A and B are shown apart, each in its own frame.
Chain A
Amino acid sequence: MTRPELARRQQHVLRALLAGEVPDGFDPRSATLTTRVLVTKRRSEATDAFPLLRTVPDFAARFGAWSAQHPRRGCADDDVVDFLADDTGELPEPLASIRTIEQVYRGSRSFARDRRPGQARWVIALRGRVWHLGPRS
């Protein structure tokens, strides 16, 4: 097996494990344990980067379901904002405001209310820019 063949093999197996699938020919228990290790490590790096994630109800299950569908694109900080932007469950403040504001920046919604403690502003996407309107805190 040449380097390119080995690269394809490792890519195939790693992609499956990160998605929570059992790669062809693998012992299901061994693959499942490894997925658990990878998801746990990824989740703990996200909570280390942003400890407020621990306030998300049922966080382990929600992050696990999300991470299976979303390969990591960069570092743990990317995981934090990507998860918050994609997650659709209930979030406590300030996470709920962070999510909706991030969605405005990503273009998936046109406005959001910033309800973080001490804030009371509107965040609005208009003509390709994002405006924060209201009293400065």
Chain B
Amino acid sequence: MSRSPVAGLGVGAGWRPAIADDILAQSRTGMQFSEVVAENVSPADLPASLVAARDAGLTVVPHGVTLGLAGAQHPDPARIDRLGDLAVALGSPLVSEHVAFVRSGKAPAGTDPLHADVIEAGHLVPAARTTDSLAVLVDNVRATQARLPVPLALENIAATLAWPETSMDEPEFLTALTEATGCFFLLDVANLHATCSALGGDPREQLERMPLDHVAYIHVAGGFTDTDGVYWDTHAHDMTDDVLDLLTHVVELLGPDGPPVLLERDSDVDADVVRAELTRVRHAVQSARVPT
């Protein structure tokens, strides 16, 4: 069991410019945990309200979205350093990224990366889960860990893509990854629900086989189910009861005062919406039947 470096920090919301003042206000009245998208802030020029929240005691985890560790390329040292510099600037005990690839191809040395043969997906794409792709991922994660000043947690993404060559399911793959690298696991229950909705599978059954002993913290977010029954992880809608039930189940499995829970809301975001959603998150956490 790798104890989460942020265990016991409760429930928090992701820092976004639109709710910066309210995150600061909440950090002064008890919120202890937040996260900032690494690509959206500069370590040398942090927003004043984010610095004030940190100084008020808020733990802020830099969360990267463009490293693409499951890609075939070696991870970009400049992107790793940005995560590390943010962790130092914010005093963060860890940083997080995703088990995904975000671009393909390789820029030949000396070429403008924008015009080399690199295709940007613009989003997180799942890689095939094979022993070969796992080996490359493990190698990339180890290189990243070696360059970072703090531990790394990696998140399961919302996947709609199933590769024909895949030979492991996601819990097996993520368990092998955490065991090989010692990285922490950022468990996104909304993503797990979304992946099972699109590709099949029982989210509760998969959840129980995930590397739960490596969980650093938990993501939860809103979305909606379309008329074809596919759940879309939008971060723009309120959370569904299915996702909140999964969160409750995680807390039942991990126990109270374990890894904190982070609400991600990216669009249609304002202080009232986030406060109301945080109340629902806390209720889901508190309704866990924890053995005494």
> Interface residue tally of chain A, by bracket?
20 to 34
Question: Which of these, B106, B114, B164, B230, contacts A33 with CB under 8 Å?
Answer: B230
Question: Which of these, A14, A26, A45, contacts B104 with CB under 8 Å?
Answer: A14
| A37 proximal to B (CB < 8 A) | yes
* Complex interface bits, B134-171 against A, C-beta within 8 A gives 1, otherwise 0: 00100000000000000000000000111111000000
Q: How far is the CA of A7 from the CA of B71 in the complex (A)?
A: 7
| B199 proximal to A (CB < 8 A) | yes
Question: Which of these, A6, A13, A37, A44, contacts B160 with CB under 8 Å?
Answer: A37
| B105 proximal to A (CB < 8 A) | yes
> Interface residue tally of chain B, by bracket?
20 to 34
Q: How far is the CA of A44 from the CA of B235 in the complex (A)?
A: 13
Q: Which of A14, A36, A44, A73 has the most CB of B within 10 A?
A: A14
* A73/B114 in contact, CB under 8 A: yes
* A38/B123 in contact, CB under 8 A: yes
User: Taking A4-B72, A26-B164, A30-B198 as contacts, is the C-beta distance between A14 and B121 under 8 angstroms?
Assistant: yes
| B120 proximal to A (CB < 8 A) | yes
* B105/A11 in contact, CB under 8 A: yes
- Secondary structure at chain B's binding surface: helix, strand, loop or mixed? loop
In the complex, the number of residue pairs spanning A and B with C-beta atoms less than 8 Å apart equals 81
Contacts of B198 in A (CB 8 A): 30, 33
| B26 proximal to A (CB < 8 A) | no
| B217 proximal to A (CB < 8 A) | no
Q: How far is the CA of A122 from the CA of B73 in the complex (A)?
A: 48
| B127 proximal to A (CB < 8 A) | yes
- Secondary structure at chain A's binding surface: helix, strand, loop or mixed? helix
| B2 proximal to A (CB < 8 A) | no
* B161/A1 in contact, CB under 8 A: no
Question: Which of these, A6, A25, A31, A72, contacts B133 with CB under 8 Å?
Answer: A6
Contacts of A37 in B (CB 8 A): 123, 160
Contacts of A18 in B (CB 8 A): 119, 121
* Complex interface bits, B195-220 against A, C-beta within 8 A gives 1, otherwise 0: 00011000000000000000000000
Give residues in A with beta carbon < 8 Å to B.
Answer: 1, 3-4, 6-7, 9-11, 13-15, 17-18, 25-27, 30-31, 33-34, 36-38, 41-42, 44-45, 71-74
User: Could you show 6 A-B contacts with beta carbons less than 8 Å apart?
Assistant: A1-B132, A11-B119, A14-B103, A14-B119, A17-B125, A38-B123
Give residues in B with beta carbon < 8 Å to A.
Answer: 71-73, 101, 103-106, 114-115, 119-123, 125, 127-128, 130, 132-133, 136, 160-165, 198-199, 230, 267
Given contacts A4-B72, A34-B160, A36-B160, 20 further A-B contacts (CB under 8 A): A1-B130, A3-B72, A3-B73, A3-B136, A6-B133, A6-B136, A7-B72, A7-B73, A10-B71, A14-B103, A14-B104, A14-B121, A30-B162, A30-B199, A33-B160, A33-B230, A34-B161, A38-B121, A73-B114, A73-B115
